[in-house]
Amino acid sequence: MHGAPETAGPILSTPVKVWIPHEAGRSLIGELPPDTTLEVFTGDDTSLPSDPATVEFWTPPFLSTVNATHLLDKMPRLRVVQLMSAGADAWVSRMPAGVTLCDARGVHDSSTSEWVVAAVLAYLRNFPAFARAQERRQWAYGPTDELAGKRVLIVGAGSIGAAITRRLEPFEVSLTLVARRARDGVHGVDELPRLLPFADIVVLVVPLTRATTGLVDAAFLAAMPDGALLVNAARGPVVDTEALAAELATGRIAAAVDVTDPEPLPADHRLWDMPNLLLTPHVAGSVRGFQSRAYRLIGEQVRRFAAGQPLENVVTDGY
């Protein structure tokens, strides 16, 4: 496990100072212990609310990159970093000794699973082409594909994978789940070569780790059947961008992605011109209800920390 053990230690004898990234979080976080000091730090280093050396519990801004981790060196009293994202790849290898890293597992289940269903339906029912036709004032009638009857392979069987499963079940699809290790009702990632040729839709919701970086390479894509759809709601580097672009250029498969590598995608990148690609700018978790769910978790974590209780969502070495 990275940093401190799950029990964050005894209650501190001095007041607990907490940094959060939104002013709205003050009203969303709930009641905190009376010795808690709550301050807002939006991520702008030129406007620190106080001395970072006095902060013990920090929630960085949503989707913070590795650039935000430099502040860790200025926080000798820091004990907890509570992320607002389900992914912890920018932070997991950079935590100082004695600091516990927690992700936001559960916060983005509904929004990300909604994005996956929306992206799949939009692509299969040809909505991007119809939207372009609407801009041209063209009545572009024609039959489309459908979701019913499709074989869906979900790579990533955590809470988001489970949420996607629940939302896809009413669509009359067959569902197969894959995780790092096989368990009851879930296949192991080592079985992917056998499973991919039978998947009409492959959904990626794995965390970005050493093991998953480049997981979707040329061989992975070649194993997908003709006409299959790759859906990436994970992280851009899970997919080999050049391999994806090369495969899409053949027209053999299609893709719907919310993340890219690099990100943002450069304006001159050839992926922009792929007619068989649906691209959104990393918005799966960016919904209006996000803050209320995130601060509910943050408040629970602060109260646990102050009481010396085990924290939830602790990121481990097996991340």
User: What is the residue whose two structure tokens read 């501190």?
Assistant: 12
Asked whether residue 311 carries a pLDDT value surpassing 80, the answer given is yes
Residue 183 domain-assigned (yes or no): yes
Is 44 exposed, middle or buried (CB count within 10 Å of its CB: 0-12, 13-18, 19+)?
A: exposed
Q: Is the pTM of this model over 0.85?
A: yes
Catalytic residue annotation: 235, 263, 282
Residue 9 domain-assigned (yes or no): no
Question: Do 57 and 80 belong to one domain?
Answer: yes
- Sheet harboring 16-20: ordered strands across? 36-40, 16-20, 57-58, 80-82, 100-102
CA 26/CA 275 separation, integer angstroms: 45
Per-residue pLDDT of 89-138, as tens digits, reads 989 989 999 999 999 999 999 999 999 999 999 999 999 999 999 999 99
Question: Do 119 and 263 belong to one domain?
Answer: yes
Residue 136 domain-assigned (yes or no): yes
CA 15/CA 150 separation, integer angstroms: 56
CA 104/CA 85 separation, integer angstroms: 5
Residue 128 domain-assigned (yes or no): yes
**Per-residue pLDDT at 317:** 63
Residues 6+ apart with CB under 8 A from 57: 16, 17, 18, 19, 78, 79, 80, 82, 301, 302, 305
CA 305/CA 75 separation, integer angstroms: 17
Question: Do 80 and 33 belong to one domain?
Answer: yes
Question: How sure is the predictor about 67, in pLDDT bands with cuts at 50, 70 and 90?
Answer: confident
Question: Do 125 and 170 belong to one domain?
Answer: yes
Which pairing describes strands 151-155 and 36-40: parallel, antiparallel, or unpaired? unpaired
| Average model confidence (pLDDT) across the chain | 93
- Its domain, for residue 257, covers 109-279
Residues 6+ apart with CB under 8 A from 158: 105, 179, 205, 207
Are 153 and 199 in contact by the 8 Å Cβ rule? The answer is: yes
Residue 314 domain-assigned (yes or no): no
**Per-residue pLDDT at 68:** 85
Per-residue pLDDT of 14-38, as tens digits, reads 479 999 999 999 999 999 999 999 9
Query: For the CA atoms of the chain, what is the radius of gyration?
Result: 21
Both tokens of residue 285?
A: 């978790």
Instruction: Give the number of other CB atoms < 10 A from CB of residue 133.
Output: 15
79-116 b/e (C-beta count within 10 Å ≥ 16 → b): bbbbbbbbbbbbbbebbeeebbbbbbbbbbbbbbbbbb
Residue 253 domain-assigned (yes or no): yes
Question: How many structural domains is the chain composed of?
Answer: 2
Question: Helix, strand, coil proportions of the chain in percent (round to 5)?
Answer: 35, 15, 50
Question: How sure is the predictor about 66, in pLDDT bands with cuts at 50, 70 and 90?
Answer: confident
CA 102/CA 222 separation, integer angstroms: 36
Tell me, what CATH number does 144's domain have?
A: 3.40.50.720
Query: What is residue 216's DSSP assignment?
Result: B
Residue 125 domain-assigned (yes or no): yes
